[in-house]
Amino acid sequence: MVNPVAGQDYPRTFQEFLEWFPDDAACVEYLARLRWPDGFVCPVCGGDRYWWTGRFQWMCAACSRKTSITAGTIFHRTRTPLTTWFAAVWFLTSQKNGMSALGLQRVLGFGSYETAWAWMHKLRRAMVRPDRERLCGVVELDETWVGGVSTGTAGAGGDKATVMIAVERNGTRLGRVRMAVADRPSSLEIIDFAREVIEPGSTIRTDGARLFRRLPGLGYTHEPTTGLGNPDQDSIVPGVHQVASLLKRWLIGTLHYRVEHHQLPYYLDEYTFRFNRRRSAHRGMLFYRLLQQAMDTDPHPLAELTGKPANIHFT
């Protein structure tokens, strides 16, 4: 569904949310609409006739294969009620700046911080579609640096992480944004990043760094603004500077610096998800989109989330 309708495809308010999802059966029915918008399709034989079992499963009438609505999604084999998962998605998306894992733990009454943390990271994995469209038109491209401690050192000094940013410019307004972490600053990684997220034929505005001179040969129109010695640094890719400033404020204000370097890409995904939907008239649209993408996202077990073997069971 390209243009979902408020009040019809997703709840507009928290009160409406409570009315729509009073139990797991209502949640399962909603997930089925998201997973099979054109009706049930058996993953084995492609049949469209089925029986609905009492365990929230669909049995194919042709091959008798049972399919769980949550199989292969981030809700795979969860023992927590789907109503709790839906509440987590609603609270995460209905607040403009999101919330921390500690905030989610408190609002849902989880017994441990680790459970809330794991849920947040599972949902972050669903915030970026792998087949999303590339940026186009006029796009600003540059790097910024976040985190770390580098007293007396400007820019990329110390142990700061390098973040590559590309943002569309629609006249004086900012459009969509894309971000990624680079292994080191001022490297050819940013050229690879540009090729991945910006449509060929677009106009790319950058500072005067020499490495950007490769862009015309890759099918882009390049408009550099020399940064070295420029007294008005804010005039150089101002959209990137604005996005970078908002990103750092969000990392500080919402997450309180609690971001591990190897997890930073997923926090960037969350910020991108929010920024690109900042003009949605209803926060319920974000709820809808995140659940829709969660149905196409792999389970991501705990060992993958933490980067180390699991030594505790999370619900």
End-to-end alpha-carbon separation of the chain, Å? 31
Integer Rg of the chain from CA:
22
Question: In this model, does residue 303 exceed pLDDT 80?
Answer: no
What is the per-residue pLDDT for 314?
A: 29
Domains of the chain: 138-258 (3.30.420)
Would you state the pLDDT for residue 231? 55
- How crowded is the C-beta side of 111, counted as CA atoms within 13 Å? 4
Kindly give the pairing relationship between strand 203-207 and strand 221-225.
parallel
More confident residue, 69 or 85: 85
Helices (H) and strands (E) in the chain, counts: 10, 8
DSSP per-residue codes, 18-61: HHH-SSHHHHHHHHHHHH-TT----TTT----EEE-TTSEEEET
Measure the CA–CA gap between 115 and 45, rounded to whole angstroms. Answer: 37
How far is it, in rounded angstroms, from Cα 189 to Cα 176? 21
pTM of the model: 0.87
User: In this predicted structure, what is the pLDDT of residue 302?
Assistant: 75
pLDDT digit string, tens, across residues 173-221 = 999 999 999 999 999 999 999 999 999 999 999 998 999 999 999 999 9
How buried is residue 5: exposed, middle or buried, by Cβ count under 10 Å (0-12/13-18/19+)? exposed
pLDDT tens column, 118-163: 999 999 999 988 789 999 999 999 999 998 655 555 556 567 899 9
